[in-house]
Amino acid sequence: MALYVEGLSKGVANRGMAQFQEMMRQQLESSMHAELEKLLDTTTGAEREVSKKDFEGFNNLFHRFLQVKGPSVEWSKIQRPPEDSIQPYDKIAVRGLPDNVANSLNKLVVVKLNGGLGTSMGCKGPKSLISVRNENTFLDLTVQQIEHLNKTYNTDVPLVLMNSFNTDEDTKKILQKYTHHRVKIHTFNQSRYPRVNKESLLPVSTNLSMTGQNAEGWYPPGHGDIYASFYNSGLLDHLITQGKEYIFVSNIDNLGATVDLHILHHLVSQPNGKRCEFVMEVTDKTRADVKGGTLIKYEGKLRLLEIAQVPKAHVDEFKSVSKFKIFNTNNLWISLPAIKRLQESNAMDMEIIVNPKTLDGGQNVIQLETAVGAAIKCFDNALGINVPRSRFLPVKTTSDLLLVMSNLYSLDAGSLTMSPKREFPTTPHVKLGSSFTKVQEYLTRFESIPDMLELDHLTVSGDVTFGKNVSLKGTVIIIANHGDRIDIPAGSMLENKIVSGNLRILDH
């Protein structure tokens, strides 16, 4: 009897706790709603309308954030994706191309994610405006690629840039230089969401302005916002009325993300009822990619699993190259009518990424974000295609920049291709030290970019400069001790060498 009473009181206690938690949630939502209304009242007209739409999206995300209990995946439910759900690229390519490639291309729109700044590489303004090869910026190369397609096949593939409030103004100024190129360029802005105080769970901004202290109160909510922003901008409907069927979405700093005609043909040649609405390009994981998101089967659906969703006890397993063999390149092919359908039925479901930040004044805030690839589970007949590594060439650091500026690659119509003179297809592992982090400083340290065709590994640390026509082969490690400087003389050839301290050159 005592046990029964104890069990009963526990049940009441649990019910009471659940009711209390629900009450707290409702209170938080109500407070957030009131604060957002106050923010809206600080402006009028068009800005108020845009912010109101943004806040609707944010409210939805905040509501879901308060509902979440524990990790978004149960580890025991994770299964390997079925064999046929990830196709090898060769199997897609072996079908060849149709006689009329233009028909397929005229159904395509290229979308580049252009919300990021170049701050991590010491640059001001949009990252897409950093010069990466022969004075060409990421944006220049993208325009050249699409213009080349339009001229070669007599087509009209437009370029769409998803900007953020950080990049919009500078990007629009630069777009004037492409007015005589054979590419129609459209832009739309992703949402502007309020950063939330970690303790109070209320916005840190006091008004909608982007100046002074308020500037730090706002953030673009990750690339998963593309669906709502694209739809809200009216551009999605505009493109559908023009007969466009698919978008090819990729990060603007991934120089390997060019339009692939074989993947496009595979998409548009499927019978209508079996049309694949979402393709994620994945590629084989190496030890450098252990944190990259991967595809799994979960509750009967193909799903993207990100490291942030993995319970701590299973992180090492997630990073295993043998268990999870592929990772997401963030090159995605998505059906436009499907985006419209999912947006209008409010069926776009992406896991929330909680991104903690500390503001300049020391205040701890959180950003609620989503990832574009996480929506894969919402689309019909979704597919992974295991593409060659060459389609994943991101430039995140000056170490990456050194690779793409070197003779490892040749540039043709905006596309980089690995030199046939390199004997193996993998890129060298390059690790430049903190003296090279900022682009301007990096550029002053190379009189010319070294010959790297036969390089496997390069590590550089400390105050090091390179003269003209230096050649690097095998494994080269150059370490200048604190207070020392190493100048690699013009014309030097370093093969399997360790260079240290006072320029002693040792065989490796």
CA atoms within 13 A on the CB side of 31: 13
Question: Which of these, 435, 467, 470, 434, lies nearest to 451 by C-alpha position?
Answer: 470
* Element of type H or E holding 15: helix 2-40
Helix pair angle (336-344, 226-233), 10° resolution: 90
Q: Is 41 annotated as a binding residue?
A: no
Q: Is 312 annotated as a binding residue?
A: no
- The residues, any chain, with a CB within 8 Å of residue 345's CB and separated by 6 or more, are none
C-beta separation of 458 from 429 below 8 A:
yes
Lookup: tokens for 312: 């701590």
Q: Is 127 annotated as a binding residue?
A: yes
Q: Is 440 annotated as a binding residue?
A: no
Q: Is 222 annotated as a binding residue?
A: yes
Instruction: Find the largest Cα–Cα distance for the chain.
Output: 91
User: How far is the C-alpha of 178 from the C-alpha of 189, rounded, in Å?
Assistant: 20
Query: What does the angle CA 113 – CA 335 – CA 355 come to, to the nearest 5 degrees?
Result: 40
- The residues, any chain, with a CB within 8 Å of residue 177's CB and separated by 6 or more, are none
C-beta separation of 150 from 101 below 8 A:
no
User: How far is the C-alpha of 185 from the C-alpha of 280, rounded, in Å?
Assistant: 24
Report, as residue numbers or ranges, the catalytic residues. Answer: 396
Q: Is 26 annotated as a binding residue?
A: no
Lookup: tokens for 50: 């845009």
SS3 content of the chain, % helix, strand, coil (to 5): 40, 25, 35
* Element of type H or E holding 399: helix 398-405
Q: Which residues are annotated as a binding site for UTP?
A: 127, 190, 222, 253, 396
Q: Which residues are annotated as a binding site?
A: 127, 190, 222-223, 253, 396
Q: Which residues are annotated as a binding site for substrate?
A: 223
